[in-house]
Structure 1
């Protein structure tokens, strides 16, 4: 057997064990995360968003079992978390070379195995003797020694706990009293509020006189000056304009039923409402008064 064949066989065995560790970790983390999400009422998150509220009570049938959309979403979310956390936990193991693992387990092959593998294309007496010694020592290598029993036991124990917890939660429907709504209400006072700067509103400006720096306007009356987009606008109405006027247009102040008088010479005209009924005893005085007025 060549050195390359020996390392290839050991590499296949080590990768098989690593896949087993990863599978146990993925299942354990996924089931444990899913159980925690169910206990904490995360299914109610769908009802907090108007776009997802329609799916909060919807469900599908799989193999005779009814599964709600929130539970399916939480399961895939737990699976994604399990994959991510497992990748982080095993990223260091995947970087370890197979030769380093073998030399760590079997000190008799320390540096000899790596040297023989690096010089596998070299053909001389020294390298040939080294390869022969490595192949002889490799017969004592047992593939089962590369199984990390401690990690295996931890993975199986974690899987047992996760399955037991998920089974209990699913059967008993156990939930805590808190809900995502309670968490939202708890975080709302801590979040910054959106304050309106009032840029679109008119800013009232008080006018003051020079004597006592007191406003000459009535504080309870209508403002005469406002500031809109940084410009002062005078709201004072000109005298005689009534309820208002239209800027840029000449107001029509002539009543619609006005008729112009005829062009004739001004003279005295008797009133149609003149009455001869005068107080007794004063007829002569009143007539004399009107005659004097008409003569002026």
Structure 2
């Protein structure tokens, strides 16, 4: 009896794994077709022209049995499949998985708690366990593995797949593509004046002129700029020869321009005796008379 209940649970677990694999495949296919249809519609093949590594391969054709495929199309297929694989794996990694016993007990209330208890105690041999396992085996005969199949989920994936295939067929038949693509977005990004970009700088040419939009130079050569400091308008126009230009009194260091007046010259002042002490003994009178003659002249 223990072996029989194990076979019943293993059969339902095997069917449950197959259905889960079918869910993964249906989700992966639907996600892949939707992403690929969006990539084709939004001209995402131009992204290979924006990458220097792939630019030499654009336009190349590869032979596939029965047809040829362009490099851009092959690249979009690989890109869409990679993204769809990541999204599907992330979605099922976070999903809560129920075992076959839990699903059977949800679908068949008569087996609730009984099937799990019988399976957990299948190795015990007593009259109570044998009676429980026997009753569970009888009540589980109407159980079919098809009850585990989530038909609503498969129907949703099927509708999404049909929508993506229809969109791809319409684009292939009419050649319709969105008016905006990666190349257009690249041009828009290049025109955005990001801080620190070269478009915000004014280059000074050798002849003293400036390059760029002349309208942006009106602040340099037009009316003098005015700023407001403590409620007062201050003209920033620098006069010729103005030196270092405008400096705020709060930021600059104060300069002490006061001068100390020297004493009035005293005509009666006499020379210091140190002058005579430094002269040689034998030449003192000669040098003194020489300078006195110079003073008289």
What band does the TM-score fall into relative to the shorter chain? 0.5 to 0.7
1:104 and 2:106 are equivalent in the alignment = yes
Deviations 1:14-48 (A, max 9, x none): 11112222212111111111111011001111111
Residue 243 of structure 2, aligned match among 194, 199, 215: 215
| Structure 1 residue 3, shift from structure 2 partner | 1.4
Q: Secondary structure at the match of 2:63?
A: strand
Q: Does 1:28 align with 2:30?
A: yes
Partners in 1 of 2:189 and 2:66 — Cα distance?
41
Q: Mark the runs of 5 or more structure 1 residues left unpaired by the alignment.
A: 197-212, 217-296
CA distance in 2, matches of 1:154, 1:124: 49
Task: Say which of 113, 116, 127 aligns to 1:114.
Answer: 116
Q: Which one has a bigger Cα radius of gyration?
A: 1
Cα RMSD after superposing both structures = 2.5
Using a 3 Å threshold, how does the CA distance of structure 1 residues 191 and 19 change in structure 2: closer, same or farther? farther
User: Would you say the 8 A contact 1:44–1:56 is kept in 2?
Assistant: no
Paired residue for 2:21?
A: 19
CA distance in 2, matches of 1:29, 1:126: 51
CA distance 1:63–1:172, change in 2 (3 Å): farther
Matched residue pairs, number? 202
Q: 1:150 aligns with which of 129, 149, 152?
A: 152
The whole-number CA distance in structure 2 between the counterparts of 1:191 and 1:5 is: 70
Q: What is the distance in 2 between the residues matched to 1:79 and 1:172?
A: 25
- How far residue 190 of structure 1 moved from its aligned partner, in angstroms, is 5.5
CA deviations on 1:137-161 (whole Å, 9 max, x unpaired) are 1101022222112112112222211
Per-residue deviation, residues 143-189 of structure 1 (Å, max 9, x unmatched): 22221121121122222112221222233322111121221233345
1:8 aligns with 2:5: no
Aligned to 2:88: 86
* 1:61 aligned counterpart, secondary structure: strand
When the two structures are superposed, what TM-score results if normalisation uses the length of structure 1?
0.62
1:60 and 1:69 in contact (8 A); partners too: yes
Instruction: Tell me, yes or no, if structure 1 residue 45 matches structure 2 residue 73.
Output: no
Is the alpha carbon distance of 1:194 and 1:52 closer, same or farther for their aligned partners in structure 2, counting shifts above 3 Å?
farther
- Measure the CA separation in 2 of the matches of 1:172 and 1:14: 43
Report the more deviating stretch, 135-144 or 150-159.
150-159
Structure 2 counterpart of 1:166: 168
8 Å Cα contact 1:10/1:98 also seen in 2 = yes
User: CA separation in 1, counterparts of 2:151 and 2:193?
Assistant: 49
